[in-house]
Amino acid sequence: MPDQEWPPLSPLHTGLRGRCPRCGQGHMFDGFLKLRRGCEVCGLDYSFADPADGPAFFVICFACVPSVFLGVWLEVQYNAPLWVHLLVTGPFMLLTCIPPLRPLKGWLVASQYFYKAEEGRVARRAAAAAPESSSETALR
């Protein structure tokens, strides 16, 4: 199966569901956020994937900030006691921060596969093989 041609699948569709970005059938995760070594259906090796802190960044921007604003608003508007913050702000923060981590990580991994993203490399030319440019010649 590894030699088979695979149609391009949407990173949004496969990533949010936690499915293999190549075949769309195999699982991407082994646990909540741990990536598998590879797809059990098509054999795609997930070693290319490096989402780093991407999911956490999106969660901080779109979930944690509103949660903090809710807590500050409760405090300023109602002078809420600590137990109200624990019962309202705490669960709100957990419900808006934890569940999106897995779909966002899946989307980032699937996007890396879809767009063939790799770690950057410096291209170096051999000094003898590189032709002189006109600006280098003009400086002499």
CB 74 within 8 A of CB 85: yes
Closest CA to 110 of 3, 36, 28: 28
3-class DSSP state for residue 111?
helix
Q: How far apart are CA 84 and CA 82, in angstroms?
A: 5
3-class DSSP state for residue 29?
strand
Q: What is the mean pLDDT of the chain?
A: 88
3-class DSSP state for residue 37?
coil
pLDDT tens, 66-88?
999 999 999 999 999 999 999 99
* pLDDT in the model for residue 75: 96
* pLDDT in the model for residue 49: 92
pLDDT (mean) for 52-71: 92
Say which residues have a Cβ less than 8 Å from residue 96's Cβ, sequence separation at least 6.
63, 64, 66, 67
Give the burial string for 79-95 (b: 16+ CB within 10 Å, else e): ebeeeeeeeebeeebee
pTM score: 0.78
pLDDT (mean) for 11-36: 96
Confidence class for position 129, pLDDT limits 50, 70, 90: low
Least confident interval from 8-22, 32-46, 68-82, 120-134 = 120-134
Q: Is the pLDDT of residue 132 over 80?
A: no
